[in-house]
Amino acid sequence: MSLFSVDFKVRDYELDMQGIVNNSVYFNYLEHARHEFLLAKGVDFAALARDKVNLVVVRSEMDYKASLTSGDNFQVTVQFEQISKLKFGFRQQVIRSADQKLMLDALVIGAAINAQGRPFVPDLLALLGQ
């Protein structure tokens, strides 16, 4: 399976007082890349929500390796893995384009919740592992 990635560029309003990307902004980068990954696999996140199937994050682990700064170009990679019967994970990395330096290493664990608020295994999870 090839590694999925999305290209980004740091915007000035994402910086904190130290002139680096604020740690909370990385959550947005990772989420956008996951949604693009899902779309590329034929899974429409918004359509799922309308159908009362909600993919939710239950845990995030992020290891900050280095800081992005204003104007940096970078990629966010996404790799799907099954964690357990009911949980799935997205291994993600933020890599600076200029030198391919690893800036952040993450594991985001999710689950699918049905209309009754209970975890379940939707058929679409089989698509993600392909």
Contact 35, 45 (CB under 8 A): yes
Point out the catalytic residue in the list 7, 12, 16, 99. 16
Q: Is 16 a catalytic residue?
A: yes
Report residue 88 as tokens.
Answer: 């799935």
Beta bridge partners of 75: 7, 95
CA distance 22 to 20: 6
Enumerate the active-site residues.
16
